[in-house]
Amino acid sequence: MTRLLRSFSPWLVFLLASRFTSLPVAVALGLLASLVVLAWAAAQKQVHLLEVVGLGYFVVLAGVLAIGHPGHSAAWSHYAQLGSHLVLTLVIFGSILANRPFTEAYARETAPPQVWHTQWFRDLNRRISGVWGLAFLAGDVSLALAAAVSDRPGLLRVIVPFGALYLAFRYTARQQAQAAHNGAQPADPQVQ
């Protein structure tokens, strides 16, 4: 679970920074956090999809800000949080559609190898990844509403998106604890 949070940390740094500073500074902080997280993951030989996508996203966004109309960054910052949320939503649901739920790589770090190829393990990770995808989708809707209306920015830009992510985190922790309690084995050994 710690590695999953670490993979999300550049995005969280960016999302929080975009609320309290300019978009270029938030992008620079997100890019810096991505480089640190990716370097750490590479040193551990455990690079995951979110770390690679994160670095790519912040490099592209920094390039767009540098090449595009830098004077319009204030207007772009209005949609920056929504853009990053949308990218993560697409990555998460894309991983599920590709039958490689993004949480599976993290789960393999703690689950015994004998369960990695079971249907139980794949289904569990598909559900957990789906919950994360739905959390980001709830944030997408909330952030789109926030961009459309100016009232209730705290509710729509902070409480709903981060609240949905917190619920996904709690769900993941419960599923992980239940799997550990069950010995990371399928309830029915016939389900392979």
What's the total number of domains in the chain?
A: 1
**Cβ atoms of residues 78 and 108 within 8 Å:** no
Asked if residue 187 is part of any domain, the answer here is no
Asked if residue 191 is part of any domain, the answer here is no
Asked if residue 152 is part of any domain, the answer here is yes
Angle at 157 between CA 159 and CA 7, to 5 degrees: 80
Asked if residue 81 is part of any domain, the answer here is yes
Instruction: Report which of residues 16 and 91 the model is more confident about.
Output: 91
User: What tokens were used for 136?
Assistant: 């980001």
Asked if residue 137 is part of any domain, the answer here is yes
Asked if residue 62 is part of any domain, the answer here is yes
- 122 contacts: CB under 8 Å, gap ≥ 6: 99, 101, 104
Q: What is the pLDDT of residue 187?
A: 46
Whole-model pTM: value is 0.85
Asked if residue 190 is part of any domain, the answer here is no
Q: What is the pLDDT of residue 19?
A: 77
Its domain, for residue 86, covers 2-181
Asked if residue 186 is part of any domain, the answer here is no
**Cβ atoms of residues 171 and 131 within 8 Å:** yes
Q: How many residues does the chain have?
A: 192
